[in-house]
């Protein structure tokens, strides 16, 4: 059998921490088993991966070896071990601050927040060759925020919480200090970290008054997830910067609380000693997410990712755990201008967000393809940075302009959080229905499943069926060399009212591949929340020609007309 690629080549990464592993032990392992593994030659340590309690995570351990090749061969033979996986480094999507951005007003910074209200602002930047590029803003290319934000905030029954699993936050920033979530059981009378460190809420992290620093290089740093790079503070400002305070910007809503969870920062870039100390980046990300689950947050924002070549079972289980607990997980699509699969974006039920420019086109840096669920503004986004930083683009301390899908994801996270704030019991499928059925039209139909986030319309009363394909995890299929025949599933799911009639058309975008057979109508009505798997049979004509398989799914019904979705 041969593997047939259904998408472009996967990304590579710069660093793999080869001497750090994640070990899954078999059920009913004993302390004697642990002791035996620790005595294997060159095993430096074997410790619990996380203090999160479950039948799976109780069996997960972090393993460090001094001799990766020889000791790993011995470890794999141990009868108590079920699985060993590599640790990996994630990409934190922070890119391309445009040094030649032109600031067009002398007023405070809201007029430059085109993502909230596009007033035909102009973005000026330069290409890599030095040529000037001017992009004219287009009215309507924003999240349609102003129409509904006051009504939405008035309807809140609670202040929702978004966990920003990232690089920390500037606790003293005047735009953010009132939005930082306080775990009051773990705070002193001044809502600060107590002098005496005691685990008062039983989550195994003493005095976690306002988040946790999983990238700390000392015990005292654990209690303070301070941002030493600016990325986490920028993301947090997009979500929840204080508005109407005459200072600088406003976030989507300052009624949203931010739980800062630091999992990386300069510790991973500059200091070799600290890089050695912090050599388990995926463990930090996983524990950050598990901490967010313990804290019962409403949304987890992940402006980070890793390629399929570095995907692991334990990280999949971490994300699944969050989703099973009713938490909305939103992730950035990545900044490689590629359709390669990036995780966690490519996991089922994770909302994957790509970026658009001020003119509505998909940003030239944004990853794209059918696995990108929705788009949001991500180019030339103004937000908060730590007040002690020197801004690169603005002449105003505490603010700067960044570009990336990192900046697009928090607009969706904030919108999802406000839905949870209005209806704490709202399901993930209902949130998806509201987000996906109301998007603004796409200018680049092949680059995402749905179009630009429409904040205000997502809070309207939405009726009718909404059947969408799900291209997640659709990376490759096996082909029979003798015949060229291969099969793969296309999944559909109804996020709205019952769909009685639906016409389905699937066509190949590669002239070297023919589609031979698939189900083209519904055999029974498709109920709300119900998935449908359509088996597609196709054939490669010539293996010496291009056999990367991209295809189009067209769905036709009375309410939505013809909808076209591209897998690429």
Q: Rounded to whole angstroms, how far apart are CA atoms 270 and 280?
A: 16
Q: How far is 409 from 237, CA to CA, in rounded Å?
A: 12
User: DSSP states of 273-309 as a string?
Assistant: HHHHHT--HHHHHHHHHHHHHHTT-SEEEE-EEEEGG
DSSP line for 115-175: TT-----EEEEE-TTS-EEEEE--TT-S---TTTHHHHHHT-SS--EEEEEES-B-TT-TT
Q: Which tokens sit at 490?
A: 């296309």
Closest CA to 506 of 546, 566, 437: 566
Please answer whether residues 333 and 340 qualify as being in contact, where contact means their C-beta atoms are separated by less than 8 angstroms.
no
Q: How far is 81 from 33, CA to CA, in rounded Å?
A: 9
Residue (of 38, 20, 49, 121) closest to 74 by Cα position: 38
Distance (Å, whole) CA 221 – CA 274: 13
- Tally Cβ neighbours within 10 Å of residue 294: 18
Phi, psi of 276 (to 5 degrees): -65, -40
Q: For residue 78, count other CB atoms closer than 10 A to its CB.
A: 15
C-alpha dihedral sign at 85, 270, 400, 378: negative
Say if strands 212-213 and 257-262 run parallel, antiparallel, or are unpaired. parallel
Between helix 281-294 and helix 313-324 the angle, nearest 10°, is 10
Q: What share of the chain is helix, strand, coil (3-state, %, to 5)?
A: 20, 25, 55
> Taking Cα atoms as reference points, which of 178, 248, 252, 260 lies closest to residue 399?
248
**424 HSE (CA, 13 A, CB side):** 8
Tokens of 126: 């330069």
Q: Do 307 and 11 meet the contact criterion of CB atoms below 8 Å apart? A: yes
Strands 60-65 and 43-48: antiparallel
Q: Alpha-carbon distance 368 to 353, whole Å?
A: 9
Who contacts 481 (Cβ-Cβ below 8 Å, separation ≥6)? 1, 2, 543
Catalytic machinery residues? 166, 231, 406
Element (H, E) at 414: helix 405-422
Nearest to 376 by CA among 453, 455, 299, 431: 453
């Amino acid at each position: 059998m041969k593997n047939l690629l259904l998408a472009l080549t996967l990304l590579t990464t710069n660093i793999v921490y080869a001497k750090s592993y994640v070990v899954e032990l078999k059920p009913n392992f004993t302390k004697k088993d642990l002791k035996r593994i620790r005595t294997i030659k060159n095993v430096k340590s074997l410790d619990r991966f996380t203090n999160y309690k479950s039948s799976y995570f109780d069996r997960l351990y972090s393993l460090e070896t001094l001799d990766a090749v020889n000791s790993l061969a011995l470890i794999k033979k141990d009868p108590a071990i079920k699985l060993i996986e590599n640790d990996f480094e994630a990409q934190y999507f922070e890119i391309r601050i445009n040094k030649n951005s032109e600031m067009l007003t002398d007023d405070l910074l809201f007029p430059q927040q085109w993502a909230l209200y596009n007033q035909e602002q102009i973005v000026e930047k330069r290409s890599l060759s030095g040529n000037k590029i001017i992009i004219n803003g287009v009215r309507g290319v924003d999240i349609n925020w102003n129409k509904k934000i006051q009504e939405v905030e008035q309807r809140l029954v609670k202040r929702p919480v978004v966990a920003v699993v990232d690089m920390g936050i500037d606790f003293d920033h005047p735009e953010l200090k009132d939005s930082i979530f306080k775990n009051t059981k773990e705070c002193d009378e001044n809502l600060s970290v107590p002098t005496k460190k005691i685990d008062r809420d039983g989550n195994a992290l003493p005095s976690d008054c306002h988040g946790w620093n999983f990238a700390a290089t000392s015990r005292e740093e654990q209690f303070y997830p301070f941002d030493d790079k600016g990325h986490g503070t920028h993301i947090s400002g997009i979500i929840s910067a204080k508005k109407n305070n005459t200072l600088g910007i406003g976030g989507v809503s300052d009624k949203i609380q931010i739980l800062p969870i630091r999992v990386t920062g300069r510790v991973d870039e500059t200091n070799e000693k600290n890089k050695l100390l912090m050599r388990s980046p995926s463990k930090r990300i996983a524990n950050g997410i598990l901490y967010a689950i313990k804290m019962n947050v409403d949304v987890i924002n992940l402006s980070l990712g890793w390629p399929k070549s570095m995907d692991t079972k334990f990280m999949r289980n971490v994300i699944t755990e969050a989703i099973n607990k009713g938490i909305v997980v939103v992730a950035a699509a990545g900044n490689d201008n590629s359709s390669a699969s990036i995780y966690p974006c490519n996991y089922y039920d994770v909302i994957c967000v790509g970026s658009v420019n001020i003119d509505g086109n998909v940003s030239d840096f944004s990853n794209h393809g059918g696995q990108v669920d929705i788009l949001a503004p991500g180019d030339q986004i103004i937000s908060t940075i730590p007040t002690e930083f020197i801004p690169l683009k603005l002449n105003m301390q505490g603010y700067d302009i960044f570009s990336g899908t990192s900046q697009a994801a928090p607009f969706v996270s904030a919108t999802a959080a406000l839905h949870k704030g209005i209806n704490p019991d709202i399901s993930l499928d209902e949130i998806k229905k509201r987000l996906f059925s109301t998007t603004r039209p796409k200018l680049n139909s092949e680059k995402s499943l749905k179009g630009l986030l429409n904040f205000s319309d997502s809070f309207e009363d939405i009726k009718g069926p909404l059947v969408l394909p799900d291209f997640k995890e659709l990376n490759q299929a096996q082909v029979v060399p003798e015949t060229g025949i291969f099969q793969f599933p296309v999944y559909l799911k109804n996020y709205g009212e019952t769909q009685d009639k639906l016409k389905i058309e699937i066509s190949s975008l590669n002239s070297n591949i023919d589609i031979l057979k698939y189900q083209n109508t519904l055999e029974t009505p498709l109920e709300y929340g119900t998935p449908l798997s359509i088996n597609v049979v196709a054939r490669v004509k010539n293996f010496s020609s291009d056999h990367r398989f991209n295809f189009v799914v067209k769905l036709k019904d009375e309410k939505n007309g013809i909808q076209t979705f591209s897998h690429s």
